[in-house]
A and B are shown apart, each in its own frame.
Chain A
Amino acid sequence: MLALQILIDGFAISSLYALGATGFTLIFGVSGVLNLSHGAIMVVAAVIAWAVAGNFGTGPYIGALAGVAASLVCAFVTYRVIVRPIQDSRAIPREEKEIFVLTGTLLWGIMLQEAIAYFFTNNPKTVRPLVEGVVMIAGVRTPWNEILTAGLSWAVIGLLWALVNRTRMGKRLLAASMNPRGLTLLGFEMSSIYLLVWMIYGVLAGIAGVLLGAFLGVSSDNAGTLTASAFSIVVLGGLGSVSGSLIAAYVVGYLETMTAYLVSPSIRTIPVLLLLVAVVYVRPQGLLGRR
């Protein structure tokens, strides 16, 4: 009974983690950027979805769309206003670009977080779920929303897979992650490819944010934790490896759920941190990373 509960809850949480981390790892794989405003962008998506659905009475679907749109805008601004100028800047030495991108996105994340806290307070908000009601699965009360969360996460990840592996556009992304110089020599404009990646990232982070808001509820204070958990999952799976992140998301999701149910919810993140330290020391490239 408890085992089944852990299995179901863990699956839903892990799917959500997987979706959130996929966008993060995609950006790193293709353009080498670690986006520390990731958590804040997810929070923006969730809170906008909550506000539109609740305050304007448009219903959950329009709300969710608005949330994803907000996340898309944030991703665009992150790339266009912060990441791109730093990458193009001549005043910053090449070996220091990384720290500037990290600091810049971190500051931008704080700005988003504070803006949300200012306009919508930092109280936790639960987005109205797209579907209501509960269903019994082998004696475990499971909200339909939880099933939808897992299903939708996997559907989006599947779409992304198809996009990357089955379309010409996706081939370009793959090529960009392997050899940007070669792609430039073939006459492809790198900046438009990067822009495309950031747009895909915006949609992924937006959907993950809205689903998270409907499933667990979100407060602007969660932004840092969300970034840290995406960062951990991605490092655990191997920086830039999408399939690695998917596996790592399940390891983290189940480890947290098991700790919360079997030991105590107050230490749910500790086993994950210990695992992360062990993996980074023993196998720094992560589970499926390439060096």
Chain B
Amino acid sequence: MARNRTFLLVAPALIVMALLPLGVGGYILGLLTVAYYTAVFAMSWDLLFGFAGEVNFGPSFLIGVGAYVAALLNHYWGWPIPACLACGAVAAVIGGAVLAVPALRLSGPYFGLITLVAVLMLQNIIVLNAGITGGEIGIDIPDVLSIDETTNYFYAFGFMVVSGGILFGLSRSPVGLILQASGQDAIEAAALGFNVAKHKLTAFCISAFFSGLAGGMLIFYMGTASVGTVVDIAVGVNVIIAAVLGGRRTILGAAVGSIFLIGANEVLRPLGQLATFVVSAVALVVILFFPGGFLGNYLHTGGRE
């Protein structure tokens, strides 16, 4: 039943998204391209928070490491794009593991603070080494994925579908159940014989892998990597808002939330500076009155039937 409902929801949405380039202009496709990469950020974050129960305040640490490693390799050594992306993703996993191994001993606010500090450190390192990294202005990247909007759109779309499929499948697999158990009651999960720390670390590494890869893809789409687009705390905050808005512990909701967030920011653009205010207010109302998010109630009631 749950499978059916999810399928009924996802399949038509995917068909519409795949046919979109036939009907809409390049500008909207560009927006959606960014939204799809953000969706991958949010889905990776949801795997960590919704399932492993760990609040990662610094998703942009993982995103930023992946993006900057890819950018530097391409800028200085002219490595081909796939090699840069692979190295960026591996670097994000290594960075994530270095951060997570000691940090997972901590819990709640302490874990959150460490991940927040990691972002601030990364930001400081990038800005201080401005000679190499371009500092606040950013670093330009010689290669781009494609100059054609439709091709770019399909890269992002395909990437989102594949990552989303893997993350969603993982969340519904036995591993996902163990993660969920360790997130909700770590002691009981451990008593049942599951290695909680190992599973959480795995979740962190998977989350890091997809965040880093998506970060790399995003900068190869934009042609430039800067602190403001991939590292800043505001980037991470957006990812968290998108995931909570769409419905935590659903993975798919995170994608819906991201597309909604980017769309809302665009629709509200005429309001100028007030746009962020309105988006935050909407997100706050959703959190206060519909804590399940957009998809939370729909998918979860489906699961219990």
Contacts and interface: CB of A to CB of B under 8 A. Distances in A.
A224 B105 CA distance: 27
Interface in B271-287: 273-274, 276-277, 280-281, 283-284, 287
Given A117-B273, A224-B233, A235-B110, A269 B288 contact: no
Contact of A107 (B234, B273, B283): B283
A104 B288 contact: yes
Contacts of B114: 277, 280
A95 B120 contact: no
Contacts of B121: 270, 273, 277
B117 A103 contact: no
Report, as a range, how many residues of chain B touch the other chain: 35 or more
Contacts of A9: none
A228 B110 CA distance: 13
B280 A107 contact: yes
A224 B117 CA distance: 13
Contacts of A102: 55, 112
B113 A110 contact: no
Interface stretch (B14-22, B164-172, B236-244): B236-244
Interface in A78-110: 82, 85-86, 89, 91-92, 95-96, 98-100, 102-104, 106-108, 110
Interface string A208-228: 000000000000000010001
Main secondary structure of the interface of A (DSSP, over half): helix
Given A114-B276, A280-B106, A89 B291 contact: yes
A108 B284 contact: yes
A179 interface: no
A273 B117 contact: yes
Contact of B102 (A98, A100, A235, A281): A281
Nearest to B120: A273
Interface of A: 34, 82, 85-86, 89, 91-92, 95-96, 98-100, 102-104, 106-108, 110-111, 114-115, 117-118, 224, 228, 231-232, 235, 239, 266-267, 269-270, 273, 276-277, 280-281, 284
10 contacts: A89-B288, A95-B53, A99-B55, A107-B287, A108-B284, A114-B273, A114-B277, A224-B233, A235-B109, A273-B117
> 7 tightest CB-CB pairs across the interface, nearest first?
A114-B277, A107-B284, A110-B280, A107-B280, A92-B291, A111-B280, A118-B273
Given A103-B240, A280-B106, 8 more contacts: A95-B184, A107-B280, A107-B283, A114-B277, A118-B277, A224-B234, A267-B128, A276-B113
